[in-house]
Structure 1
Amino acid sequence: MNRGFFTLGFAALLVTSQAFARPSIAQYDEPKYPANFTHFDYADPDAPTNGDLNFQNYDELQSYDSMNPFLVRGAPAPDLKHLMFDTLMQRSWDELASEYPLIADDVEVAPDGKSATFHINPKARFSNGDAITAADVKYSCDTLSSHQVSPIHNSQFANISRATVVDRLTVRFDFKEARRDAPLIAGDLPVFSPKWGMKADGTRPPFDQISNVPPVASGPYLIEQRKNDKQITYRRNPDYWAADLPSRRGMYRFQRITFRLFTDFYTSREDFKAGHTDMRVEYSSSAWTRQYVGKNFSNGSLKRGEFPDGPAQMQGMVINTRKPQFADARVRRALTLAFDYDWLNRLTFYGQYRRTGSYFQDSPFGATGVPDAKELKLLEPYRSMLPAAVFGPMLKPPDTLPPHSLRANLREAQVLLNEAGWQYRDGALRNASGTPMTIEIMDDQPGMDKVILPYIQQLQTLGIHAHLRELDSALYEKRMDAFDFDMTTYIYEPVTIPGGELTRRFGSAAASQPSSENFPGVRSKAADAMIDAALKAQTLSDLETATHALDRILINGYYIVPEYYSPDTRVGYRARMGFPRVSPLSYYAEDWLVDYWFVKAPSGATTAASTH
């Protein structure tokens, strides 16, 4: 995800008649770190390595039943993919899109950009001690490109037409399209052994039947103990071959990592406050303000920290346009007008949040102002199928700050609903055939009721029969995979540079593909064209133009009722925990904690790390 510095930059490689093997690659411009770099700036190579981490599962699963993180069925063990599977190359967290040696020690991009050849580090080993070969990489690629795995994974590598073994340590990936991100996506390939799941007689079941066998993988940790379906302990592999690579130095400082799964956030928060969990990312503003108190905070054994974050997530209530009542964009806009963010932020969130107004919030890829000439050139062929607002100033979410008000927003919403054929009569908002509009807002987080219930009240003011349905995480995931919902809160995690995930999230083909991330059911030729332009962009400016245009289409399509985001990462942690002085430019909070935090050296010992 080491023979010289990539001085030409990727664009140059596409136009020269000769290709060169380089240790690092950047999607645009040049990699930040030279060939002789020793570690990433945000890593502390001198941090202690002997501590254990007690952590909580940081997704919404309340139990797990699978040792295979690549399948549709089953709930994988916490952080399994992250801790046990290394990729060909390692992405840095303080650049837009650059990769450095990990399993592969160099990469050669063809002059036409239609293939990339990776050389495997001869020292690379699986967890069972076997050398990693080009055949293993091909097996991993073929498997993750097949229909045996979740669409999230096979769609990620959909642009790879084939993987070819050149020799024992060299593998070439051919691409369907010469996209600038294609070599980096190949570098993101997780690598695992064909021996994973192999039986004593040498036979191996289909990959989608391998679910309860510990992986023969390539990452830094092994499974030490599975206590039950709510707890798992990983142990750092003492023979992990990549520990001293520059892309790994300063990472994975915990000897053991134990994850415990809780049924709700309240219980997990209290477990942390009692000192049983070493650190915790807090996503509730009210909890952060009111509950991170008590004797363990007073005596200094627990601390609070707020750390700068990069691009923001898109969080909002997804509207499932597959449902007939949501087919009309005027209805979806009316649903957006009924959400009173300003009241929530003032009275419930203690003013800690900001309103989400873009699918690329707080990044250069989000649209602002009116479309420029380059954006208009992309959008113009689709003018007849797009709202006129796409071609005007970037739409801002409705607010209720003076001189605006919720009452005025609801009046506007009522007009839009009437125009779309919904009229209030006999105690409900009904269509022409008399069917009332009903909306089930589905969720699996009890804490979201303080957001959803006030919203339901506003929908009921419009005559909409709305109600909250709280589900356990397993049933929730099952219904989401099948697109069996009306509305639900979802978070599209931020990326440093947009790429293949756009197809999975907003491409028309993904709208009918179960388990894809296109939960709103976006089916738009215009959006597809902007995604295609983004994937084929040859300059950073071209990429920004395409995402700006896509942002305008999505925002004006009203596929999500935008909610809010926090500009900082809030972390509660035990005083014994340390972290590097430099924070990454962009990161997933829990990944940063697991990858780069550590247990500080005992009092009196020296360490290069700072405390907060």
Structure 2
Amino acid sequence: MTVLCTLRHSLAALLLSPALALGAGQHAITLYGEAPKYPATFKHFDYVNPDAPKGGTLRQAGFGGFDSFNPFINKGVPEENIGLIYDTLTKRSLDEPFSEYGLLAERIERDPQNRWVRYHLRQEARFHDGQPVTADDVVFTFESLMAHGSPLYKTYYADVAKVVAESPRSVRFEFKHANNRELPMILGQLSILPKHWWAGRNFADGTLDIPVGSGPYRIERFQAGRTIRYTRVKDWWGENLPVNRGQNNFDAIEVDYYRDNTVALEALKAGQFDFWLETSAKNWATAYDSPAVRDGRLKKDEIANHNPAGMQGFIFNTRRNLFQDVRVREALALLFDFQWANKNLFNGAYTRTHSYFDNSELAATELPSPEELKILEPLRGQLPAQLFSQPFKVPETDGSGVIREQQRRAYQLLQEAGWKIANDQMLDAKGKPVVIEFLLAQTEFERVLLPYKRNLRDLGINLEIRRVDVSQYINRLRSRDFDLIVGGFPQSNSPGNEQREYWHSSSADRPGSRNYIGLKDPAIDQLVEGLINAESRASLVQHTRALDRVLLWGHYVVPNWHIKTWRLAYWDRLQHPEVTPPYDYGLMTWWIKPDAGQAAVQTQAEAKP
């Protein structure tokens, strides 16, 4: 950290107490006060090309559609790239686990006792209409999000007591207590909105009015649900800041929306857009046999991903009576044959997910350590006894497709829960036929569910796969109108306040929160708060492992799979820096080759019949 002082005040600075010196302000903040990687004098991040050429249009594909430019509320389907128009108080580096550097904020003051944080805004910061970014805009943003925004904000920033504009360019957030060490950092992630533009508009409504931001791009034109074009702000106030050098290199970004990812992939191969993050192992292995790939015009790269894998799985909605018994959830998880699916559907590309924090030191693997036991012991009476005596293991088969052992164990568990088979139909504890609806928006995922459906059918359970469009899917998710979904809980190397949004009782009944499971468990609440309030990295690791262990033994999801790379397909008109950051593939550090314009036109011409 850096203390800002001038030679003129050097003598006075020597007389300052350490606490006052810290209050003078820093260019960056870290979670536990460790030194950031980049000093106050840094020129650019290591993973950018500071001399990258500006120009050209990046063409991308979106999924589904959009009907709103307000991503901050639980109404409508927001355009997925709308964050391009906004700036945040700070910016995270992509080659550190969790460090934030000033963006709109020139300096950051953090109370040594962690009771408050103060951001000093840059004098040059401007919205696209020329109005300065002020402390009043920050106050308006925070208060609007807390009053009218998505439930996420109420849980994420629950420990903020108030926000005060102390001067036109100084804003201070005061905290309810001193234990939440992540709070000063995640407040810096706020996208700051212009108070003057929202005057006379209802923040709680979705809108297709083109909003004003202060970020590197603005919306030039759009067709609702179909396409949108962003253009780079030529006189953008923040272009030459160290945190932005070598980034935002495209003059324009165009996004065309597709209802079906299979169609989108064919459009990519035909040269209709430039970049694709491939999520299908089958497609990666078999769908890129084309002249453009063979001659190197359409490139395939796998880039190492050092983030925790998080948990993707079939998520049980425990608000449904059907799933409130842990034995039922465990039984249904036994009937998913990952080994068969990996061999026959995924070309062996995936690793089974064993943890909510897989691919990291945060995952609970063996038996609890002594440090972890200190966290778990006070909760012993509220936790499964097996948690203390055996490591959690996901079911494993031989991949043959024959899972009689798993089916026998599943049937035993279901009988213990009061279920029984009558006339080849499974009946629940109330004697009703068991019908489970799996809500799905991704057409290509249906092939994964069909084998699972067959395994359930063998025990008399009817799994109905209900495909809906994106808008219906989002609305039913928000209103908790589902039995099973496929979903995920993304994680970072420094989990914190977002865990309330996933698991805490306070988020269970809030429409639109990410507590899809419907968890209301005092023991889990206590573990979440302990994680958020951890005072060191070592303590954070132990609290996260304890939380992970309790979630796993609750059998709240059928764990899916993960891969430790990003699979990227892109046309050779795109170029990227030699250094790729470990925690992102850094698309906004890429650029278009200056001589690539004509080649793109030729590629599209070749694709026409």
TM norm. shorter chain > 0.5:
yes
2:302 pairs with 1:306:
yes
Aligned to 1:39: 44
What's the TM-score, normalizing by structure 2?
0.92
Determine which of 5, 14, 19 is the counterpart of 2:22: 19
**Equivalent residue number for residue 68 of structure 1:** 70
Output the amino acid matched with 1:314. Answer: M
Seen in structure 2, the aligned counterparts of structure 1 residues 217 and 3 have a Cα distance that, compared at 3 Å, is: farther
Indicate whether 1:358 and 2:358 are aligned.
no
- Report the CA distance between 1:159 and its aligned residue: 2.1
Q: Distance in 2 between matches of 1:469 and 1:177?
A: 46
Are 2:243 and 1:247 aligned?
A: yes
Q: Secondary structure at the match of 1:456?
A: helix
Q: Is the 8 A contact 2:340 2:401 kept in 1?
A: no
Q: Distance in 2 between matches of 1:210 and 1:341?
A: 40
- 2:212 is aligned with 1:211: no
1:163-202 mapped onto 2 (5 Å cutoff): 163-178=163-178, 179-198=180-199
Any idea what SS the aligned residue of 1:106 has?
strand
Deviations 1:533-577 (A, max 9, x none): 011111001111110000000000011100011111111100111
Following TM superposition, by how much is the alpha carbon of 1:394 offset from its aligned partner in structure 2, in angstroms?
2.8
Query: Does the aligned pair in 1 maintain the 2:317–2:483 contact within 8 Å?
Result: yes
Aligned mates of 2:123, 2:386 — CA distance in 1: 56
Match of 1:327 in 2: 324
Give the match's secondary structure for 2:251: strand
Distance 1:404 1:267, change over 3 A: closer
1:364-403 mapped onto 2 (5 Å cutoff): 364-401=361-398
After the TM superposition, which residues 459-538 of structure 1 pair with which residues of structure 2 at under 5 Å, given as runs? 459-538=456-535
Deviations 1:4-62 (A, max 9, x none): 49xxxxxxxx99576321111000222111111111111221111112101011xx4x1
Aligned with 1:551 (options 548, 555, 559) = 548
- Report matched runs for 1:75-90 at 5 Å: 75-80=77-82, 82-90=83-91
Q: For residue 593 of structure 2, what is the aligned residue in structure 1?
A: 600
Q: 1:470 to 1:261 in 2, by over 3 A?
A: same
Residues 340 and 455, structure 1, Cα contact 8 Å, conserved in 2: yes
Per-residue Cα deviation, 1:571-592 (whole angstroms, up to 9, x for no partner) = 11001111111112212x5xx3
Q: 1:78, CA displacement in angstroms?
A: 2.8
Deviation at 1:413, TM superposition (A): 0.7
Preserved CA contact (<8 Å) 2:333 2:558:
yes
How far is the alpha carbon of 1:209 from its aligned partner? Answer: 3.0
Q: Distance in 1 between matches of 2:225 and 2:439?
A: 25
Read off the aligned partner of 2:122 and give its amino acid letter: N
5+ residue gaps in structure 1?
6-13, 199-203, 604-612
Contact 1:231/1:258 (CA < 8 Å) preserved in 2? yes
Deviations, residues 477-498 of structure 1 (Å, cap 9, x unaligned): 1111111111110022232310
Other structure's SS at 1:573 match: strand
Corresponding residue number in structure 1 for 2:601: none
Q: Aligned pair in 2 of structure 1 residues 402, 221: CA closer, same or farther (>3 Å)?
A: closer
Q: 1-side partners of 2:322 and 2:79: how far apart? A: 38
AA at the equivalent of 2:339 = D
Distance 1:94 1:375 in 2: 29
In 2: Cα distance, 1:212 partner to 1:431 partner: 47
CA-based RMSD of the aligned residues comes to 1.9
Partner-residue secondary structure (3-state), 2:366: coil
* 1:431 shift after superposition: 2.8
> Is 2:78 the partner of 1:54?
no
**Alpha-carbon distance between aligned partners in 2 of 1:431 and 1:73, rounded to the nearest angstrom:** 36
The answer to whether structure 1 residue 447 and structure 2 residue 444 are counterparts is yes
1:120 partner letter: L
Structure 1: distance between partners of 2:104 and 2:421: 63
Separation in structure 1 between the aligned mates of residue 548 and residue 81 of structure 2, nearest angstrom? 31
Structure 2: distance between partners of 1:407 and 1:509: 41
How many residue pairs align between the two structures? 581
Q: Is the 8 A contact 2:337 2:399 kept in 1?
A: no
CA deviation profile, 1:160-216 (whole Å, cap 9, x unmatched): 221111111111001123211010011111101012244xxxxx1321136122222
Q: Name the amino acid aligned to 1:103.
A: L
Does residue 426 of structure 2 align to residue 422 of structure 1?
no
User: Residue 457 and residue 405 in structure 1: after superposition, are their counterparts in 2 closer, same or farther (change >3 A)?
Assistant: closer
1:337 equivalent in alignment to 2:334? yes
Unaligned runs of 5+ in 2: 6-16, 597-609
Deviates more, 1:434-443 or 1:297-306: 297-306
TM norm structure 1 = 0.92
- Identical-pair percentage: 36
Residue type at the aligned position of 1:258: E
1:451 match: secondary structure? helix
8 A Cα contact 2:316 2:329, kept in partner: yes
Matches of 2:206 and 2:254, distance apart in 1: 23
Q: Which amino acid aligns with 2:283?
A: A
SS in structure 1 of the partner of residue 550 of structure 2: helix
